[in-house]
């Protein structure tokens, strides 16, 4: 693997999930791959989970890790060609990229949407310069339009926690295990005594697992990267229904569950077609939540699809949209759904305290799975060097 940006870069999702299962069993068995290799993690924007989980994943593989906060201590970088650099930016990205690349073997970059130009953001001008000029494998640690490490971790989390039976609710024991995992800040294991959360339970289920991506209010304009990638990966998972071909370690007797993917948001927040694909869009949040097995809440600003002039804007005063905050009212119409969010989350705007702290919340195991998704990606890149 030379590039990790979209779901197709990971290949067969069933193979990727099986590899995640192997990593969870023993994170340190591939340290020979990373010996004397260096990962450079470049942050143009703030991070907590991405920084820590990716550093940990690289260290698990025996790698050296360099972290660069571009806006804290580095020269300010110009990113546009043809600019007369007579301002506060001392170095151009076109020189900085090959210099940084000379110090590492793999590069991860985090650079958010600027909301100055939809075209610039959706063409991924910053990340594409790293791809073009670094000569190194590049993985996206959230860009203007995508967050694939998060989406991969989300898929792992859904695979671990899908309902065992089409019509049954998880047991009290399962709920207590989930609560304990939240308290320990650990991801649920991919294997269990009763098969709960086991990836091999992804076989042969008739009733689709209903996954709902819901918009929720926020006081600031946020990028579309997380919902874009989540939609892209859920659509790919929904299309992956045949048995996997080949295998690694003989563990690929897995099949993704049939997925019924629904996106719900107010009018004007339509996601770009390249990500949302043929997913069902429902403007009535309560209707969308009916019978759902997983609720994934996230705010995003106007993507500019149906309202190009409003790209990157908050379309309504958030005070008037608080009925979209995920609470007991919405969760009551679900199939005892699990709650997911990428974090950080604004409590009592995106989700109520009771829901995020409840036994059906997966936000901590979900965050812990960021280490696993990053390690699978880095492992594959090291294997391709």
pLDDT of residue 243: 55
Q: Is the Cα dihedral 62, 153, 217, 348 positive or negative?
A: negative
Say which CATH class 3-147+369-384 falls into.
alpha beta
Query: Is-same-fold flag (3-147+369-384; 150-367)?
Result: yes
Q: What span, in angstroms and rounded, lies between the C-alpha atoms of 131 and 78? A: 17
Burial class (CB in 10 A: 0-12, 13-18, 19+), 109: buried
CATH topology of domain 150-367: Rossmann fold (3.40.50)
Query: What is the residue-wise DSSP string for 231-285?
Result: HHHHHHHHH--SPPSS-STT-----PPPEEEEEE--TT-PPPHHHHTT-EEES-H
Q: What is the pTM of this model?
A: 0.88
Backbone angles phi, psi at 357, to 5 degrees: -90, -5
Per-residue pLDDT tens digits for 324-357: 999 999 999 999 999 999 999 999 999 999 999 9
Could you tell me which residues come within 8 angstroms of residue 40 by beta carbon, excluding any fewer than 6 positions away? 66, 68, 100, 101, 103, 104, 106, 107, 108
Residues of the chain with pLDDT under 70: 164-206, 241-255
Q: Is the Cα dihedral 226, 112, 120, 381 positive or negative?
A: negative
Query: What is the residue-wise DSSP string for 328-367?
Result: HHHHTTSSSPEEE--S---BTTTB-HHHHHSTTB-HHHHH
What are the domain boundaries of the chain? Answer: 3-147+369-384, 150-367
């Amino acid at each position: 693997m030379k590039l990790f940006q979209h779901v197709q870069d990971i290949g067969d999702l069933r193979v990727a999930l099986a590899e995640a299962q192997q990593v969870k069993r023993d994170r340190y068995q591939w340290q020979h791959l990373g010996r004397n290799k260096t990962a450079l993690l470049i942050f143009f924007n703030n991070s907590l989970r991405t920084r820590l989980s990716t550093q940990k994943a690289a260290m698990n593989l025996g790698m050296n890790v360099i972290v660069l906060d571009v806006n804290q201590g580095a020269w300010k970088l110009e990113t546009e060609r043809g600019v007369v650099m007579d301002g506060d930016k001392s170095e151009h990205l076109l020189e900085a990229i090959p210099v940084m690349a000379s110090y590492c073997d793999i590069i991860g970059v985090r650079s958010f949407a600027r909301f100055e130009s939809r075209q610039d953001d959706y063409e991924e001008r910053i990340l594409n310069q790293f791809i073009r000029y670094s000569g190194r494998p590049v993985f996206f640690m959230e860009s203007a339009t995508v967050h694939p490490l998060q989406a991969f971790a989300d898929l792992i989390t859904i695979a671990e926690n899908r309902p065992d039976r089409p019509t049954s609710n998880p047991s009290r024991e399962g709920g207590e295990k989930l609560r304990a995992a939240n308290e320990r800040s650990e991801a649920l294991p991919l294997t269990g005594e009763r098969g709960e959360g086991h990836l091999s339970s992804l076989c042969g289920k008739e009733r689709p697992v209903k996954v709902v991506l819901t918009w929720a209010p926020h006081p600031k304009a946020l990028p579309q990267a997380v919902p874009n990638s989540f939609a892209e990966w859920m659509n790919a998972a929904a299309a992956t229904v045949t048995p996997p071909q080949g295998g690694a370690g003989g563990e690929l007797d897995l099949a993704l569950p049939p997925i019924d993917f629904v996106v719900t948001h107010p009018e004007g927040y339509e996601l770009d077609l390249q990500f949302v694909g043929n997913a069902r869009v429902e403007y009535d949040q309560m209707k969308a939540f009916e019978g759902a097995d997983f609720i994934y809440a996230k705010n995003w600003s106007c993507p500019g699809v149906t309202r190009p002039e409003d790209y990157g804007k908050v379309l309504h005063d958030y005070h008037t949209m608080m009925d979209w905050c995920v609470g007991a009212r919405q969760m009551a119409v679900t199939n005892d759904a699990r709650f997911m969010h990428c974090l950080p989350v604004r409590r009592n705007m995106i989700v109520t305290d009771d829901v995020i702290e409840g036994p059906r919340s997966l936000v901590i195991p979900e965050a812990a799975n960021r280490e696993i998704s990053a390690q699978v990606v880095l492992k594959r890149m090291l294997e391709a060097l």
